[in-house]
Chains A and B, each alone.
Chain A
Amino acid sequence: MSSRKVAEALGIELVEVEDWSCCGSTPAHTVDHLLYGALAARNLAIAEKMGLATVVTPCPSCLVAFKSALEMVQDDGKRKELNELLDLPFQGEIQSKSLLQIIYEEVGVEAVAQRAKRPLEGMRLAPYYGCILTRPPKRAQFDDPENPITMDRILEALGAEVPEFPFKTECCGAAFGLPKRELVLTLSAKILEMAQEIGADALVVACPLCQQNLDLRQGQITSREGVSVDLPVLYITQLVGLALGFSPREVGLDKHAVSPNRLLKKWEEKLKE
Chain B
Amino acid sequence: MEILDLGSIDRHFIRAVEEESGQDVSHCYQCGNCTAGCPLSFAYDIPVHQIMRLIQLGQKEKVLRSHAIWLCATCETCTTRCPCEVDVARVMDTLRIMARREGTVSEEGVRRFYDTFLDSVKRHGRLYEVGLLMRYNLLSGRPFADADLGPKVLGKGKLHFLPENIKGVEAIKGIFDRFAKKRGA
Contact = CB atoms under 8 A, between A and B. Distances in A.
Contacts of B42: 186
B117 A27 contact: yes
Given A135-B76, A178-B113, A183 B156 contact: no
B75 interface: yes
Given A19-B166, A170-B39, A257-B152, A42 B172 contact: yes
A interface, how many residues as a size bin? 35 or more
A189 B169 CA distance: 38
A161 to B, nearest CB: 27
Nearest to A217: B149
A32 B100 CA distance: 10
Contact of B114 (A30, A85, A137): A30
A85 B179 contact: yes
Contacts, number: 148
Nearest to A183: B43
Nearest to A81: B182
A217 B115 CA distance: 23
B96 interface: yes
B140 interface: yes
A113 interface: no
A181 interface: yes
Contacts of B172: 21, 39, 42
Interface string B57-97: 00000000000000101111101100000010100010011
B153 interface: yes
Given A30-B93, A35-B175, A181-B146, A135 B113 contact: no
Contacts of B166: 19-21
Given A35-B175, A42-B175, A86-B175, A178 B136 contact: yes
B113 A22 contact: no
In the A-B complex, the 7 residue pairs with the smallest Cβ-Cβ separation, listed nearest first, are A27-B114, A131-B75, A179-B109, A171-B75, A135-B76, A27-B117, A179-B113
Contacts of A170: 39
B76 A131 contact: yes
Interface in A64-102: 81, 84-87
A31 B118 CA distance: 9
B96 A30 contact: yes
A207 B71 CA distance: 21
Contacts of B174: 85, 87
B51 interface: no
Given A22-B126, A42-B172, A180-B71, 15 more contacts: A19-B125, A20-B166, A30-B93, A31-B114, A35-B175, A42-B168, A85-B175, A87-B171, A135-B75, A135-B80, A170-B39, A179-B136, A183-B43, A183-B71, A255-B156
B interface, how many residues as a size bin? 35 or more
A19 B168 contact: yes
A26 interface: yes
Contacts of B149: 216-217, 220
B97 A220 contact: no
Given A20-B166, A25-B117, A179-B112, A85 B76 contact: no
A136 B114 contact: no
Contact of B76 (A35, A136, A216): A136
B130 interface: no
A52 interface: no
B16 interface: no
A219 B118 contact: no
A133 to B, nearest CB: 10
A179 B135 CA distance: 12
B76 A181 contact: no
B48 interface: no
A171 B77 contact: yes
Interface in A201-234: 212, 216-217, 219-220
